[in-house]
Amino acid sequence: QVQLVESGGGAVQPGGSLRLSCAASGTIFRINVMGWYRQYPGKQRELVATATRSGSTNYSDSVKGRFTISRDNAKNTVYLQMNSLKPEDTAVYYCNMWSGGEYWGQGTRVTVSS
């Protein structure tokens, strides 16, 4: 059984920074893609950023230049460094992993407000 455990969410003022972490545990085979999605109330989850095993990254236009995704393959962990946060970044952030199937974390809330 695979489990994704997220941490690092919280409340921050506009312009601030947060770092999200997601660690995968359990019976894990080769992890191909790890990433982050976010969900606004009443909306579908949307892509924030993904990173392949080889290090290729992809970002949504709304976070390019502000967020950075990184992976530690030895620890089966993915990170999301979020800088210059805006109120519109307020959402629940979910970790996602492809490894013989798709897996999701439980979500961590990020609130950006003055």
What backbone phi and psi angles, to 5 degrees, belong to 73? -65, -35
What integer pLDDT is reported at residue 61 of this predicted model? 98
pLDDT at residue 31 in the model:
83
Predicted local confidence at residue 30, as pLDDT: 84
Residue 88 has φ and ψ, to the nearest 5°, of -70, -5
- Rounded to the nearest 5 percent, the helix, strand and coil shares of the chain are 5, 55, 40
Tens digit of each residue's pLDDT, the chain (114 residues): 889 999 999 999 999 999 999 999 988 888 889 999 999 999 999 999 999 999 899 999 999 999 999 999 999 999 999 999 999 999 999 999 998 889 999 999 999 999
